[in-house]
Amino acid sequence: MNAFVLAGGASSRMGRDKAILEFQGKPLIQHALDKLHSLGLPPRIVGSRPDLTCFAPVVPDNFPQTGPLSGIEAALTISNTEQNLFLAVDLPLLPASFLGWLADRADLTDALATVPLLQGHPQPLCAVYSRTLLPHIRSALASGQAKVMYVIESATDALRVPIDIFHVESVASALFWPQPVPIHRWFQNINTPADLQNLMLEHFVSIE
């Protein structure tokens, strides 16, 4: 399995590049890379970000400025494995052990898409996607459609294969308990300066 960190966003709400924002002494990009390295998956960074090559190899977008789906398309284009694990750059509280379990689940089911749900909301930027989805994703981007879940669900519907979508709460309480961070905070994005400040004040520890 290949692993990729999605780091191509404009960080418009943050007002500065969130990938290199420091949390607990190191940039968010390094937190994400360390989680994937801990699983034995040498990660690459996706996004038109040559400035991040000092952290890991960078895969540029083929459809610039079209959001994270463009990063997924670029990663699947160069991937040599059927299953591919994706992690957004701004999820420092997500346990690496959960990412490992997610990867194992995708290997076991061989689903075209393995997507967690938290409190009923899909988390498509922490998911596993099959290369089989690539033509559908590329076609969607070429037509101007860039909403990740809409495109993934449309692709799996077209292929007549159900998506593997599951509730994090249903597995986390049994498999990843206790944890220093409450389950409902695992997918907390850092989108604004206030998000970062609140995270620092709460003293949550990045789980790698």
Q: What is the pLDDT of residues 18-57, one digit of tens each?
A: 898 888 889 999 999 999 999 999 999 999 889 999 999 9
Output the pLDDT for position 123: 97
Question: Can you tell me which residue has the tokens 């994937």?
Answer: 36
**Phi, psi dihedral angles at 68 (to 5 degrees):** -65, -25
Residues 76 and 37 sit within 8 Å (Cβ to Cβ): no
How many C-alpha atoms does 57 have within 13 Å on its Cβ side? 9
Residues 156 and 163 sit within 8 Å (Cβ to Cβ): yes
3-state secondary structure of 89: coil
Q: The CATH number of 2-202 is which of 3.30.365.10, 3.90.550.10, 2.40.50.100, 3.30.499.10?
A: 3.90.550.10
Q: What is each CA distance from 202 to 34, 93, 96, 172, in whole angstroms?
A: 22, 12, 20, 22
Residues 200 and 18 sit within 8 Å (Cβ to Cβ): no
Stretch 157-184: mean pLDDT: 85
Output the pLDDT for position 23: 86
Residue pLDDT, tens place only, 75-110 = 999 999 999 999 999 999 999 999 999 999 999 999
CB contact set of 196 (below 8 Å; sequence gap of 6+): 14, 21, 23, 190
Residue pLDDT, tens place only, 127-141 = 999 999 999 999 999
Output the pLDDT for position 80: 97
3-state secondary structure of 141: helix
Whole-angstrom distance, CA of residue 165 vs CA of residue 123: 10
Residue 122 has pLDDT above 90, yes or no: yes
